[in-house]
Amino acid sequence: MSTYDVAIIGSGPGGYVAAIRCAQLGMKTAIIEKYNVLGGTCLNVGCIPSKALLDSSHHYEEAIKHFEDHGIEIPGDIKVNFKKMVERKASVVEQTTKGIEFLMNKNKIDVFTGMGAFKDATHIEITEGEKKQTIEAKNTIIATGSKPATLPFIKLDKERIITSTEALSLKEIPKHLVVIGGGVIGLELGQVYSRLGAEVSVVEYMDRIIPTMDAAQSKELMKAMKKQGVKFYLSHKVSAVSKKGKEVTITATDKKDKEVTFKGDYCLVSVGRKPYTDGLKVENAGIKITERGMIDVNDHLQTNIKNIYAIGDVIRGAMLAHKASEEGTLVAEIIAGQKPHIDYNLIPGVVYTWPEVASVGKTEEQLKDANVEYKAGQFPMRALGRSRASGDIDGFVKILSDKKTDEVLGVHMVGARVADLIAEAVVAMEFRASAEDIARMSHAHPTYAEAVKEAALAATDDRALHI
């Protein structure tokens, strides 16, 4: 029987990063993955393939809607080769997962393929078909991630009534895609197919889309996506979903309790994700699971069994790949005797629609609820020379700072490339910068980043220069 210092169950962004860091710290490390490819949901049926389709569909939309404005004329009709687009997506995924294989080999991490299950707190049985083997682990990190959630009355057939997994590998462009849920995944995939010619209707239970983000971001993104042709039905409670042949019928009630019916050829159920612990047999190790199906951990991400830890989507907190990676690094360093930390308030959230949406820290609603006195500075992207040059004028940057100390409490962005731009805000907040600190930094011209400086100026005695 092989013995390891650390065994990681799950090879997503949390698991594989934890494995690499453990190996870097001199620990004999194993990683267990039930599928025959590494990378978990993010690399295979989540972050990476969705961004590949978002980028491809964005290029198409630019060609048919905006090339002419730039003086680019293409003779003949511009057509979508959807099969090739999906094949390119698959190629990107394959390249990325092979990169993880390379990193496992480089760091001398033993990879086991099969379902990992606890026999007890220090032994894990790995089952692949008829083959079974057991390894011993002094420490174990559970990184099994999440899977798409659904509503109890919806029967997913994975053909017409689908989750994000199936939406990434459709054989055709829908005629009418009805998306249940106005969160990140539903909006991103909805925009992909809207760009490619589908009618897209988003049915959301709450009174706004991306409800966990700042309300101003919700309003701005919905305005932009409406211009792109996406239809929104807010404050609608879905009560039934049925399929007859190639037609899916969605029944909902609006805020006036009036019944509304939607008919489409595909229905994307995008109501969030839930922790995945199936087959782990946590009871054999005595691991505590919460009522919501999450693995219960302390501030060091340690379960009630001292040598077993859990990270990522399977525990509390936002279900984000980069959160899982940070947690994987943290646990590896804790096991090694170091004293790392994570400030969960400074883990950014991003929506990869166009315009992009990015946020870090507290929203205005959160500050109001906590009775925190704050200042707000906002600057529109359309006032930037760079935005006018590229034609990406939707959006804004908003900075919230403490009214007394001027410390930045939250930064919220909508616009071109804000998924990358949010890192500036994270760095500033990590070092407890004030709005004036950011305002006094030189920002290259012309750039989208100038909106950050201008928003900081606006939060500092309303000193924005270009509005």
Identify the sign of the CA torsion 301, 303, 306, 308: negative
Paired strand residues for 240: 251
What is the phi/psi pair of residue 84, to 5°? -70, -35
> CA-based angle 131:137:138, to the nearest 5?
170
Structure tokens, 329: 């690094």
Pairwise CA distance, residues 64 & 228, whole Å: 13
Cα separations in angstroms, 399 against 233, 329, 454, 457: 30, 30, 10, 9
Q: How many CA atoms does the CB half-sphere of 37 hold within 13 Å?
A: 15
Q: Give the distance, in angstroms, between the CA of residue 324 and the centroid of all CA atoms in the same chain.
A: 11
Taking residue 423's Cβ as centre, other Cβ atoms within 10 Å add up to: 12
Indicate which residue of 59, 66, 445, 466 is catalytic: 445
Pairwise CA distance, residues 183 & 292, whole Å: 20
224: helix, strand or coil:
helix
Is 261 exposed, middle or buried, given 0-12, 13-18 or 19+ CB atoms closer than 10 A?
A: exposed
Alpha helices in 146-183 (DSSP H): 164-167
Structure tokens, 318: 């936002």
55-88 per-residue burial string, b: 16 or more CB within 10 A, e: under 16 = bbbbebbbeeeeeeeeeeeeeeeeebebeebbee
Paired strand residues for 460: none
Cα separations in angstroms, 258 against 233, 237, 252, 255, 460: 13, 10, 8, 7, 47
- Annotated active-site residue 300? The verdict is no
Question: Which positions are catalytic?
Answer: 445
